[in-house]
C-alpha cells in the first residue's frame, strides 16, 4: 500500500463515531463501548488496543490501527511491551524480540480456539485465567442444578466445544470471603474434571476453556461472545492539517480549559445522560479537575468524619440502587449546593466508579457506583 492510500484510511475513532458507538477510554487499558443503550466494559491492560483493533477488523477493512495506549505518544518506547508484560508466552517464541515479538503475541491473542488444561492437573495448576473484573458475574446458584439422584452439580449452560469466558459470583458460599484464593469444593471438582482455566478475586470466579486463557491473556471479543455491528460507508471524512501549537502562558491555558469544562459540565447538568456524562471523561477535563485539588472548592463540605462523596455514594451504591443520570444531577445539586465548581469536583471524584447497567432489563441505561 502506498503512502497516499495509507492516509486515506479512516481513523478508528471516526469509524466508531460514524457508527453511533460511544468509545470511552478510562485509561490503563480500561475502556467501554456503548451503542443504543447496550455495550461492554473491558479492562485488559496492555492488550486494550489489540482487543479493539481485532474487534474492528473482524467486521470492516480500511481502518487505521489504534496504537498501544490508544495514543501516539512515545510510540517507539512501547515496542516490545507485550513481550515484556507476558514473559511466559514470550518464552515460547525463540529468537524473536521487539516489534516482531509483539506481532506474534498479538496473533496469539486473536486465536479463538479451545484448549483445556492437561489431564490429571491439580486445581492450582489450572489457575491461569485472566481476571477481567468489568464482566458482570453470574450468581453461582443460577448455575447449579439437581441430578436425577438428587445430587447438586454445576451446569454452565455453555457449549464446551466453543471457547468461552465467564465470571461467577460466589458470595452465596459462606466459606468464601474476599481473600479466598480457592473456589468451593463443588466448583474445584468441576474445574478439575473439565480441565478449565480459572482464577478468583473478590468472591468472583473466572472461568475459560480458551487457548489464550492458558497463557493468562484477556479474552478477545469472540471469546466474550460480544458483537456490535460496524459498517464502512463512503463517508466524507474531514482531515485538517495539524499546525504547530502556539506556545502560550499558563494563565491562558487555564482560561481555555476552564471554559471547556464549564461548557461540558453545563451540558451534563442541563441534559443528564450517558452521552453528556461521557463528555466529562476525557484527559483534558480530568486535568482541569486535578487543578482544583487543595482548593476550597475541591474540599468544600469535607472533614475527616464527613464527606460529600459518601452522601452521593450512599444513594447509588451497587446495581440494586441503579438510577438515572437525571437523578445523579439532582443529587449533585442537593448535596453540593449551587456552585457549579463544587458540583463538578464532587462528580469528578466519583467519575471512575460510574458503571452503566447494560442489557434489556428495566434498569438498562441507568448507572450505579461500583468499585474502581
Predicted confidence (pLDDT) at residue 372 exceeds the cutoff of 70: no
Residue 247: predicted pLDDT = 28
Dihedrals phi, psi of 369, to nearest 5 degrees: -95, 125
Mean pLDDT, to the nearest integer, of 194-207?
Answer: 96
Residue 259: predicted pLDDT = 43
3-class SS string, 161-188: CCCCEEEEECCCCCCCCCCCCCCCHHHH
Q: What angle do CA 110, 115, 120 make, to 5 degrees?
A: 155
**pLDDT band at residue 4 under the 50/70/90 scheme:** very low
Mean pLDDT, to the nearest integer, of 210-217?
Answer: 96
Residue 74: predicted pLDDT = 52
- How many CB atoms are located within 10 Å of the residue 333 CB? 12
Q: Is 27 helix (H, G, I), strand (E, B) or coil?
A: strand
- Dump the DSSP string for 184-216: -HHHHHHHHHHT-EEEEETTEEEEE-BTGGGGT
Task: Find out whether 68 and 49 touch, Cβ atoms under 8 Å.
Answer: yes
> Which pTM was predicted?
0.62
The CA distance from 106 to 110, in Å, is: 7
Residue 353: predicted pLDDT = 83
Mean pLDDT, to the nearest integer, of 12-17?
Answer: 88
Q: Which of 223-227, 235-239, 258-262 has the lowest mean pLDDT?
A: 235-239
Residue 32: predicted pLDDT = 93
CA 275 to chain centre: 17
Predicted confidence (pLDDT) at residue 166 exceeds the cutoff of 90: yes
Amino acid at each position: 500500500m502506498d503512502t497516499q492510500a495509507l492516509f486515506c484510511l479512516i481513523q478508528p475513532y471516526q469509524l466508531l463515531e460514524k457508527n453511533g458507538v460511544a468509545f470511552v477510554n478510562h485509561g490503563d487499558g480500561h475502556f467501554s463501548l456503548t451503542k443504543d443503550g447496550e455495550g461492554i466494559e473491558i479492562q485488559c491492560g496492555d492488550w486494550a488496543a489489540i482487543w479493539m483493533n481485532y474487534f474492528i477488523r473482524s467486521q470492516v477493512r480500511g481502518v487505521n490501527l489504534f496504537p498501544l495506549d490508544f495514543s501516539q505518544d512515545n510510540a517507539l518506547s512501547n515496542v516490545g511491551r507485550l513481550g515484556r508484560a507476558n514473559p511466559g508466552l514470550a518464552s515460547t517464541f525463540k529468537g524473536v524480540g521487539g516489534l516482531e515479538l509483539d506481532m506474534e503475541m498479538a496473533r496469539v491473542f486473536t486465536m479463538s480456539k479451545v484448549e483445556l488444561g492437561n489431564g490429571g492437573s491439580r486445581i492450582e495448576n489450572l489457575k491461569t485465567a485472566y481476571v477481567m473484573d468489568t464482566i458482570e458475574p453470574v450468581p453461582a446458584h443460577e448455575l447449579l442444578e439437581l441430578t436425577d439422584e438428587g445430587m447438586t452439580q454445576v451446569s454452565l449452560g455453555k457449549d464446551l466445544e466453543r471457547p468461552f469466558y465467564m465470571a461467577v459470583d460466589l458470595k452465596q458460599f459462606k466459606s468464601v470471603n474476599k481473600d479466598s484464593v480457592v473456589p468451593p469444593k463443588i466448583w474445584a471438582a468441576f474445574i478439575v474434571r473439565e480441565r478449565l482455566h480459572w482464577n478468583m478475586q473478590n468472591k468472583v470466579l473466572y472461568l475459560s476453556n480458551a487457548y489464550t486463557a492458558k497463557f493468562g491473556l484477556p479474552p478477545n471479543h469472540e471469546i466474550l461472545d460480544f458483537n456490535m455491528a460496524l459498517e464502512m460507508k463512503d463517508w466524507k471524512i474531514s482531515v485538517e492539517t495539524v499546525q504547530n501549537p502556539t506556545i502560550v502562558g499558563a494563565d491562558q491555558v487555564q482560561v481555555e480549559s476552564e471554559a471547556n469544562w464549564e461548557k461540558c459540565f453545563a451540558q451534563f447538568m442541563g441534559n443528564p445522560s450517558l452521552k453528556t456524562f461521557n463528555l466529562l471523561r476525557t484527559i483534558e477535563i480530568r486535568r482541569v479537575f486535578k487543578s482544583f485539588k487543595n482548593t476550597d472548592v475541591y474540599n468544600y463540605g469535607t472533614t475527616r468524619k464527613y464527606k460529600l462523596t459518601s452522601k452521593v455514594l450512599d444513594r447509588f451504591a451497587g446495581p440494586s440502587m441503579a438510577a438515572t443520570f437525571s437523578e445523579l444531577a439532582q443529587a449533585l445539586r442537593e448535596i453540593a449546593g449551587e456552585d457549579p465548581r463544587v458540583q463538578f469536583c464532587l462528580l469528578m471524584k466519583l467519575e471512575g466508579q460510574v458503571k452503566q447497567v447494560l442489557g434489556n432489563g428495566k434498569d438498562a441505561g441507568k448507572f450505579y457506583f461500583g468499585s474502581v
